[in-house]
Amino acid sequence: MNELAAAVPWLGKRNPLAARWLIIILAITAPLVAWQFGKSWVRILDFALLYMLLAMGLNLVVGFAGLLDLGYIAFYAVGAYTFAFLASPHFDVHLPFWTILPLGAGFAAMAGIMLGFPVLRLRGDYLAIVTLGFGEIVRIFMLNLNYPVNITNGPQGINMIDPINLFGWDLSRNLQIGENFSINSLFLYYYFFLLAVAGSIVFVHRLQISRVGRAWAAMRDDELAAKAIGINTRNMKLLAFSLGATFGGLSGCLFGAFQGFVSPESFSLMESIAVLTMVVFGGMGNIAGALVGAFVLALLPEILRDVAVPLQQTLFGHVLLDPEVLRMLLLSLAMILMMLLRPAGLIPARARYSHDHHLSNKLKQEAAK
Amino acid sequence: MITLLEARNIGKRFGGLQALSDVSLTIRKGEVYGLIGPNGAGKTTFFNVLTGAYTPDGGEFVFNGSELPTGKPHKVVGRGIARTFQNIRLFRELTALENVMAGHHIRTKAGVWGVLTQNRFTREEERLTTERAYELLKYVGIERFAEVVSKNLSYGDQRRLEIARALATEPQLLALDEPAAGMNATETAQLKALIEQIRRDGITVMLIEHDVKLVMGLCDRVAVLDFGKKIAEDVPAVVQKNEAVIAAYLGGGKHAH
């Protein structure tokens, strides 16, 4: 939160408290503003929040622990499919939301450890290739596990997934207040996802400024030296993979429930790369960077798509470039511009790995002596 | 005198190169022990084998009366052996303070659960780690750079920081790999004072060094390696006069291959 507040232009350095409140107010009012432009924009914001969750999780693995993971979307898939299996007519199982969420996170964490073990000795490019393969394996499993026994329903995916139901409160229904005032379901999802993001900011921030965060950073900066001061790099890597995967699994569950439909094509390599781009674009290894990167890169293509299609129609009479093609084009363009203009990411703030109040208290004691 | 570390017939081969053959040596508690030899003699390999970075092909280390695990660096550190590197290896993106705090890792316990709940134990441990790290920075004399990112420190200060980080693991034996490399005369003199202070505080020091003056002035005993074999082990004054040692350093004699 401090990093995020400090990243606010102009205000951030002068008045961090005001910047902090500004962010909170913006976060709360964002869907109201989006609503003015149409319902679909609120939906896009909802997805942006899911991407933020994903980016936070991947930032843990890539940014803090320095393990380049190109198959991260596989954990998202595990979470989404767990939810689909346990809350849809597909197997006719309908477990409550609060039961599935920890299961989805747990399965994803297990998948994280499964990926982690074989790649313990790999670094850099080699690690990236193996994780990429892992991501594809998961997707291909989802695609083909419909025969001889139909588990995943193959390319058709699983439909009619139960919506999020918080102790009897169905988020997919508009909330009726009084007679003539109702809150659209998309808002309910937005605020629920916002809570999830806020929770995970606290979670990740605490991890970063701790013994665990320092061990990850140490391993990232110099693995041999990390071993030489007694860090068990094997355990720390597995921890990073499994915690990162937990985030993927959680957001996967939310995605499945929100979308009501999952299919393998949502979990392609391009999605992994998109999430990685968000982390790198925002600034690797700091929470604010991951959040801003995810927000900007989830929104920007949508905004440009909204502009690009009508623009192409007026200019050429028909649509030359498909919006999906345009999205990847824009991601690449964003990366190139970033490398040229801000090589350390949008928010290159150095991440802290220790509490400054401990040090300042200590210094005060010293001064008092 | 009590023996702290005993190396028994340590051997290590890299392909066709016998980097260490049958090296046995004994380090006593409280001494400064020098390990010298020409380039490529196997000094750093010995360090790597001792600290678990490499697994030896043969032989064993006995530390404090029981055998050391091989090939498991974190266990070796846990038993009380810390090292520094010939080419400085700090955690670049961390501040000086955080580097030393990371060094305290093995003596602390906080896990994910404690960190997430920020329970009293974790907060207390974090506070103590910070304070101890600051004390260590003061000990090596760079506390004014506590908040400086370590890659921005000067060369000499980086060397000191690396020693502070190694001390944070609370070692009984501190292994320094060429700590004076690239230092000027003033810095070397300060380093010598620091190592003497470390010894006075009860930590045994093992030292690889090329600066002969430093070695002779600082070490209680010295072992000389040449082509992976120990050719001498004694007090510096005696080793200096050893013919095999002179031959190894100046070339010629029976050691020329």
Residues of B in contact with A221 (CB under 8 A): 90-94
Window 20-59 of B: residues touching A by CB (8 A cutoff) are 51-53
Which DSSP category does A59 fall into?
I
A350 interfacial to chain B (CB closer than 8 Å): yes
ipTM at complex level: 0.91
Q: What is the pLDDT of residue B253?
A: 52
Determine the average pLDDT of the residues in B154-160: 92
Closest by Cβ to A229, choosing from B98, B125, B169: B169
For residues B198 and B160, the answer to whether their CB atoms sit within 8 Å is no
Question: Which residues of chain A lie closer than 8 angstroms to B105, CB-CB?
Answer: 211, 214-215, 218, 229-231
* Mean pLDDT confidence for A155-167: 89
How confident is the model over A25-71, as pLDDT tens digits? 999 999 989 898 888 899 999 999 999 999 999 999 999 999 999 99
Q: Which two tokens mark B162?
A: 């690396």
> With an 8 Å Cβ cutoff, are B168 and A218 in contact?
no
pLDDT of residue B129: 95
- pLDDT given at position B252: 57
On whether any CB of chain B is under 8 Å from the CB of A353, the answer is: yes
**And the tokens for B243?**
């013919």
> How confident is the model at residue B100, as a pLDDT?
96
Cis ω for the linkage preceding A148 (within 30 of 0):
yes
Phi and psi at A8, nearest 5°, equal -65, 125
Beta-strand runs (E) in chain B: 3-14, 17-28, 32-36, 58-63, 66-67, 81-83, 173-177, 204-208, 221-226, 229-234
Chain A neighbors of B77, CB-CB under 8 A: 228-230
Q: From the list A220, A229, A351, which residue is nearest B105 (CB)?
A: A229
Please judge whether A350 and B165 are an interchain contact, meaning their C-beta atoms are less than 8 angstroms apart: no
Smallest Cα distance from A198 to chain B, Å:
14
Lowest mean pLDDT among A323-327, A329-333, B57-61: A323-327
Interface test with B, best of A62, A211, A233 (most B CBs within 10 A): A211
Average pLDDT over residues A285-304: 88
Query: Among residues B237, B235, B240, B204, which one has the least CA distance to residue B220?
Result: B235
Q: Chain A within 8 Å of B105 (Cβ-Cβ)?
A: yes
